[in-house]
Amino acid sequence: MLRYVARRLGEAIPTTVGILLLTFALFNVVGGSPAEVILGKNASAESIAAFNRKWGYDKPLLIGRFGSLEGWGGLEGCLDSQFFNFVGGICKGDFGYSVENQEPVIEVLKRGIGPSLSLTVPILVGGVIVALMLALLAAALRGGWVDRTVLLASAVLMSVNYVVWVLAGQFFLSFKAGLFPVWGYESAFYLVLPVAIGILSSLGPDVRFFRTAILDEVYKPYVLTARAKGLSPTVIMTRHVLRNALIPIVTYVSLSIPYLFTGSLLLESFFGIPGLGSVSINAIHSADMAVVRAIVVLGALLYQFVNLSTDILYAVLDPRVRIGF
């Protein structure tokens, strides 16, 4: 097991370096001059030069100049470039300075991460639990009216656009019925409606995928053996079938985990929740590239981390994975 984990960690290193290189190129090379983006195209040459000098954009992109000192002094000069300063800042938790908010980017992210997690974690956990329960019920009673009802409801949920659920919930449950607040983030009660909408809108594809993954295991020989031993259908479905169906389910769920940290753009915008989704939109509108770059980098690195964790979890759920590796 340790050997498997070590090899997966080794494979993750070049991918992470590639992510950092690509992000750096997008924001420092392809995106044009950060000074012109923030100061405007009509900014004077003196203002642009002062901005570049202040934030280090006047340094070489990838490889700096060798210092005049011998040995490590020369290496330090070589590493004095925009890219290595960018990577070094990330390693120290320094994502730059937000010109719009006049504070370090890390402080902006700290304010947004709490509201985003309080919204997206209940949506993910609640959605997975409800979808798994419905999928297990449909698979256990496959072919019957319960199964057909679940499939029909899933198709209906998948057919309705996400924005429709948001607008309908706000209009009927908030504006007309007055059951929930429409806007704000003053208490946990303000999250009830957006969380419910998030769970409801995700049930359609989740239930169908989970049901398919479970049915792939139902007809395998070990299920017939379990039945021949006299095990109850509930034990067979929950203890045996579900465990073996977890690998595709874990893969499916893991793709949603990075969004827990980057926030839900639509829900946060419609309900006035000051999470990272709202922070991203405001940063794009105000051309605050330091914040946008930080969110892109965090999202990319989180995908890498989640993929690595998922592969390790495969080895825990199925010993054949690490044996075959």
State the virtual CA torsion across 222, 227, 229, 234 in degrees, nearest 10.
100
Q: Kindly tell me the sign of the dihedral angle through the C-alpha atoms of 161, 162, 166, 167.
A: negative
Q: What residue spans in the chain does CATH classification 1.10.3720.10 cover?
A: 105-324
**Per-residue model confidence (pLDDT) at position 71:** 44
Q: In the prediction, which pLDDT does 39 show? A: 72
CA-wise closest residue to 121 among 248, 275, 297: 275
Q: Look at residue 71 and give its three-state secondary structure.
A: coil
pLDDT score, position 72:
45
Which residues touch 261 (CB under 8 Å, ≥6 apart)? Answer: 113, 116, 117, 276, 298, 299, 302
Q: What is the pLDDT of residue 63?
A: 74
> Using alpha carbons only, what angle is made at residue 260 by residues 207 and 267, rounded to the nearest 5 degrees?
80
Q: Where are the alpha helices (DSSP H) in 92-245?
A: 105-140, 145-159, 162-168, 192-218, 221-228, 233-235, 242-244
What pTM does this model have? 0.81
Contacts 24+ apart (CB under 8 A), 304-311: 304/12, 304/15, 304/16, 304/19, 306/254, 306/255, 306/257, 306/258, 307/254, 308/8, 308/9, 308/12, 309/254, 310/250, 310/251, 310/254, 311/8
- Tens digit of pLDDT at every position of the chain (325 positions): 677 778 877 888 888 888 888 888 888 777 666 777 677 777 788 888 888 888 777 788 777 665 544 444 455 566 778 888 888 888 888 888 887 788 889 999 999 889 988 998 999 999 999 999 999 999 988 889 999 999 999 999 988 888 899 999 999 999 899 899 988 898 889 999 999 999 998 899 999 999 999 999 888 888 889 888 888 888 888 888 888 888 889 988 988 877 776 657 788 888 999 988 888 888 888 778 888 888 888 888 888 888 888 888 887 777 666 545 5
Residue-level pLDDT at 314: 80
Q: Classify the phi-psi angles of 106: left when phi > 0, otherwise alpha if psi is within -120 to 50, otherwise beta.
A: alpha
CATH superfamily of 105-324: MetI-like (1.10.3720.10)
Contacts of 302 (CB under 8 A, 6+ apart): 257, 258, 261, 262
Write out the two tokens for 157: 């949920």
Question: What are the start-end ranges of the H helices in 141-191?
Answer: 145-159, 162-168
Structure tokens at 105: 């980017």
Closest CA to 265 of 103, 80, 110, 116: 116
